[in-house]
Amino acid sequence: MAASEDAIRARRGGYKPENLIETSPLFAWPIRPVAVIRWLYHYLFPWIAIYVVLSILTWKYLTPELATMRVFHAKWVGFALARNLILVVFVTSFWHIYLHVLRLQGTEFKYDSRWLARNNPLFLFKDQVWDNVFWTVASAVPIWTAYEVITFWAFANGYVSGIDWRTYPIYCGVLLLAIPLLHVLHFYFVHRLIHSRFLYRTVHYLHHKNANPGPWSGLAMHPIEHLLYFSGTLIYWVLPAHPLHVMFHLQLAALLPSQGHSGFARLVARGKPLIDAADYNHYLHHKFFECNYGSDWVPLDKWFGTFHDGSPEAEKAMMERFRARRGS
């Protein structure tokens, strides 16, 4: 590997960061202002900022007026469905084509040196990518769109509290920037729920067929899991918000997983690391199944004893939890 100076080989022959995973300093005590400011910068740029801009453009130019959405109609509902399908195909295809089709950086910074599975009966069509595409298109996009359509209909009819951005600019701005944290908070508890024995065997197993994930694996889930996963936006039925908050929350939930499951820690251009891609935290969940249910942005895994920082000590502690559970 070209990046041998800051990496060692993982057990599966792929990239392993030299530094251990650290949780956000937002929740550390005593407060470390410099660390918090540095973390907030990396939290916002580039990816969260990109998704904020995308949601603003989508709301302004690719979404009907709220008055139009007071009554369900095939025209605007169908438009939302088609728009969301195009968005997810465009974003996910970027990651997939660049990293897994053209393989422009080979296996450099790839967590698992193996490529995505083909001719494997574990997947629909015996192909990991087409299996993942099917669940994304047939289930994720319609359920994502249903949450969007019903919530905007509720806003349009005054069933939920919509607020004006110009009247409450500070509240709206803070809420917008907090949405990624709300998303990962919701995701942790939903994720723990679907790892219960019954729901794992009947629902979540489908996503975990992707032990070596790729960009299309991000939304490759059972429809019941999609219903739970996108339900985080129901908070806006009780929390005063602007429809843009809903748009951003849903697009973040729908588009960020393709990056998070890309399988690569960084993108490389002209032989140099360019930008961060998938985080190691979630890759370890796909590798070991029973750790890192959430994100290192909110240290719930640390608080509930399911955190794996990538060290041999964390792996040993995880295996001891497994043995204790089997023995109980």
Q: pLDDT tens digits for 90-102? A: 999 999 999 999 9
195-250: pLDDT as tens digits: 999 999 999 999 999 999 999 999 999 999 999 999 999 999 999 999 999 999 99
Q: State the Cα–Cα distance between residues 245 and 232, nearest whole angstrom.
A: 12
Q: Could you tell me if residue 275 is inside a domain?
A: yes
Per-residue pLDDT band at 328 (split at 50, 70, 90)? low
Q: State the Cα–Cα distance between residues 190 and 203, nearest whole angstrom.
A: 12
| Percentage of the chain modeled with pLDDT above 90 | 89
Q: State the Cα–Cα distance between residues 140 and 75, nearest whole angstrom.
A: 20
93-151: pLDDT as tens digits: 999 999 999 999 999 999 999 999 999 999 999 999 999 999 999 999 999 999 999 99
Q: Could you tell me if residue 228 is inside a domain?
A: yes
Average pLDDT, the chain: 93
Q: Could you tell me if residue 283 is inside a domain?
A: yes
Total count of domains within the chain: 1
Q: Could you tell me if residue 316 is inside a domain?
A: no
Q: Could you tell me if residue 111 is inside a domain?
A: yes
pTM score, whole prediction: 0.94
Q: Could you tell me if residue 92 is inside a domain?
A: yes
63-93: pLDDT as tens digits: 999 999 999 999 999 999 999 999 999 999 9
Q: Could you tell me if residue 142 is inside a domain?
A: yes
DSSP for 51-80, written as a single string: HHHHHHHHHHHSS--GGGGGS--HHHHHHH
Q: Which domain holds residue 77?
A: 44-289
Q: Could you tell me if residue 274 is inside a domain?
A: yes
Question: Is residue 15 predicted with pLDDT exceeding 80?
Answer: yes
Average pLDDT, integer, range 323-327: 76
Question: Is residue 155 predicted with pLDDT exceeding 90?
Answer: yes
At 61, phi and psi to the nearest 5? Answer: -115, -15
268 or 272: which leads in pLDDT: 268
Distance of CA 88 to the CA centre of its chain: 13
pLDDT at 271: 79
Question: Is residue 257 predicted with pLDDT exceeding 50?
Answer: yes
